[in-house]
Structures are given as structure tokens and as C-alpha cells.
Amino acid sequence: MNKKLDALLGRSNKTSKYESLANLAISRIAILKQQCRIRYSQAWSDVSQLLSQNHQRSALLRVEHVIKEQNMLIAFVIIENYFHLLIDKVEVIESSRKCPDELKEAISSLIFAASRCAKFPELQHVRELLTSRFGYEFATHAIELRSNSGVNPELIQQLSAQQASLESRLKVLILVASESGITLDVKDNVIVNTKGNTCQKQQQHEPLETDLYEVSTEDAEVETQ
């Protein structure tokens, strides 16, 4: 009876292609996040080891990888939230040819993220679908970050290819040193010397999973798991 009623009303029980792809993307994100954590932990251990050997300059360079993986994890959390929103609002998307204002940030951000995450096939497919529905011009505004693109500034920051500032790298370096039992003397953003450089047993570290809007590139904190 329900199937006949759905047919009469023009309703379909088929899963939306947007919803199917979004669910696949969410599954992919779980894998990508785990890969980020592994690379993050390795980079953290490398920095700790370099500091214990008094190679501060090399450690400061390696810190860039710690920050990069932290940023990617935050970006994946943001993207994952947008996919959940896309699933919740799939009927609104499929009934519109102009991007709804309530979904502009999510859709623009997903399109932008796809242009920065080449090894994320499901996200690429979603971008193709959204571009087909809302138009090439809309997608171009997001990808090129034109005025009023709607892309989430936090996501732009986390996916930026720019090198982290010296200040932010030093903050992470000091944090690694502190948790490794090493004291760094930093003055005016320059490492003066290292004291008490007997490294404690290295521990595995993972990026802190927290409210994504409370985390910034320079202030991201790390907890010992």
C-alpha cells in the first residue's frame, strides 16, 4: 500500500546519489583521519628524538609535519560535518537549482576542499554533482575564493599550503620538548640553547579531537593519549 501511495505521489524510495556519496565520503574520512594520526605521531616522535640529540634546527623543520597533520585532521572534521549536513538537507538540495542560503557555506566549502584534496575520490564526485546542479560559475567562486564565496575561513586556513609561521612552529617545538623532558631556552623566537636534554621515554601522541571552531593553526594543543 505504501509503495502504491509513494508511486501516486511521485515519491521514490531510492537512496539519493548525494546521500550515497556522502556516506561513502564519511567512511573514507575515518580512514584518512587515522592515517593523519599515524603520520602525526611519527612526526612528533621524530621531533622529540632530534631534540634529545640536540639537533634543534632539524627539529624545527620537522615540526612543520606535526602542524600539517594537525591541520589536516581539523580539516577532515570540518568536511565530515558538512557531509552530515548534506545528508540531512538532501531533499532541499535536490529540489533547488540555486544554492540555498542555508547551505551555501557547506556546499561552497566542500567544492573548495575538493580542489585541495586530490586523493579523496568521493569528495571529487560530490564536487562534480554540486557543480552540475548549481553551476560552473558558483563552483569557480568557491575554488578561487572570490568575493562572497561562502567558503569557511577555518577550512581555508587548515588547507593552506603556506608554511606555518615561526612563532607557531616554536610553540609546538616547546610543547614537544616539555613532554619529552627537554628544556628549551627561546628568546625573541630564537632557540638560544638546550638544557637538561635527557629525553624521557617517548610516548605516542595523537592530535587533540576538540570542537573544530575552537582550534587554530597556531594554538592547536596536543594531549598524551
Burial 143-154 (b: 16+ CB within 10 A, else e): beeeeebbbbeb
Cell of 169: 612552529
Domains of the chain and CATH, by start: 16-224 (1.20.1260.60)
| Residues sharing a CB contact under 8 Å with residue 136, sequence separation 6 or more, in sequence order | none
pLDDT at residue number 207: 61
| pLDDT in single tens digits along all 225 residues of the chain | 444 444 444 444 466 899 999 999 999 999 999 999 999 999 999 999 999 998 988 999 999 999 999 999 999 999 999 999 999 999 999 999 999 999 999 999 999 999 999 889 999 999 999 999 999 999 999 999 999 999 999 999 999 989 899 989 999 999 999 888 888 777 666 665 555 544 344 445 656 544 333 333 333 333 333
Task: Give 70-92 pLDDT, tens digit per residue.
Answer: 999 999 999 999 999 999 999 99
The answer to whether residues 112 and 143 touch, using CB atoms and an 8 Å cutoff, is yes
